[in-house]
A and B are shown apart, each in its own frame.
Chain A
């Protein structure tokens, strides 16, 4: 545990979310043609935070928010010992011709985002897709995927793991870098 390093504490996290919201507003104006989709499981919490912050800041009171599970679209199926257990997908709107803001907590290899892009297409052909991540782990990408909005960027080695803790699920808001013990 002594090797854990806090990347973002509660205040820094709040500031990062605020900044990301204002960056989104610069590109999406009043969000009249934009939708937000959080990737299950951990991206959904961040998506909810950003969504509620945007509702406070903008005049738009109905920005569509959905959660997307990528399990059945992953490329590592049958390459693990156990099946990956799915989470709930809830998208009550069609993304045809919409600007989609895809949200996840940590971007590393890019494989989850690749699966998310595939999974998303079941709900229509979007006009544009952007990616927002809280933590961008550089130099770890397996695929040509880059985020449009970044909370913070870190350089880490593969034996390390970034863990986002949320008040809603873990009782504390912080992003930490851990030495992987496995």
Chain B
């Protein structure tokens, strides 16, 4: 019988291609479930899941919570700002206290890369990474690839360009791993200051010109400029490039750019969108964009991940 090769979902890097395919085929079934008149199944009714968010999140948290509830799991939510973490409690203590309340799975977002890997070695629960610093965000990459596959079919040989703030992005790294495992070709594009120095060593192509990258690709994934991580001064708010306006002019996806292309790629964005910075409203709301499909698929993919991991945690 098929099952995942791992007990935790720490990152895409640890998954095999077969794991990803299994998650996708299960997500197909859950996509059908969440389009039923009654969208709930009882699979995880004896499972308790803690959502621990040490960093802000809107859609990932909502999406996980909805996925958990659609599977009938019991859910407890925790956000760091309103907790004893501000009193200096360590991560292991916080999590062990929560696990003492008989929690089976932990969905966690944490600002420190590797926090999940660390935790998985020290606590006895299934850990799912909902984002760790600028390292990985595996469920986002899975739902992105799942959305691409729905739009384009098999991803082998397809060309995907990831545009923008790759330096601060956990979505980019997870996507690179995921797409490469599925046989897609990946290019990153952005200002040199926002592309990590050794990114090419991951086997991706690098471009500094958006128009060339768009001409090359079947899929364009626009990343959010992570304003909160730019660390610029108060006036401009940015330090990796001169201004948001200049960034938009050079790397913003606009309809006039798309109109020049022979073949318009499908457009993804992991959200939240900075409209008028990395993508214009006109493009974000156009028929080329699958941004809202990504959100719907996010619930189905997370249900699949929870279902497959929970069944192995007996």
Contact = CB atoms under 8 A, between A and B. Distances in A.
A90 B31 CA distance: 12
Interface string B296-314: 0000000000011011111
Contacts of B41: 72-73, 119
B309 to A, nearest CB: 9
B2 interface: yes
A86 B37 contact: no
B40 to A, nearest CB: 8
A72 B311 contact: no
Contacts of B313: 78
A111 to B, nearest CB: 14
A77 interface: yes
Nearest to B22: A85
A81 B29 contact: no
A1 interface: no
A82 B3 contact: yes
Dominant secondary structure of chain B at its interface with chain A: loop
Given A72-B43, A118-B42, A121-B38, A86 B310 contact: no
Contacts of B32: 88-90
A42 B26 CA distance: 19
A123 B37 contact: yes
B46 interface: yes
A88 B39 CA distance: 15
Nearest to B45: A77
B101 interface: no
A79 B33 contact: no
A122 B39 CA distance: 7
Interface residues of B, number: 29
Nearest to A77: B43
A176 interface: no
A19 to B, nearest CB: 34
Given A78-B46, A79-B314, A72 B33 contact: yes
Interface string A109-125: 00000000011011110
B310 A78 contact: yes
A86 B71 CA distance: 14
A80 interface: yes
A86 B28 CA distance: 9
A86 B29 contact: yes
A83 interface: yes
B83 interface: no
B36 interface: yes
B25 interface: yes
Interface of B: 1-3, 22, 25-26, 28-29, 32-33, 36-44, 46-47, 71, 307-308, 310-314
28 contacts: A71-B29, A72-B29, A72-B33, A73-B43, A77-B43, A77-B44, A78-B46, A78-B310, A78-B313, A79-B314, A80-B1, A82-B2, A83-B26, A83-B307, A83-B308, A84-B1, A86-B29, A88-B28, A88-B32, A89-B32, A90-B32, A118-B42, A121-B38, A122-B36, A122-B38, A122-B39, A122-B40, A123-B37
Given A80-B311, A88-B32, A118-B42, 9 more contacts: A69-B29, A73-B41, A86-B29, A87-B29, A89-B29, A89-B33, A94-B37, A122-B37, A123-B36
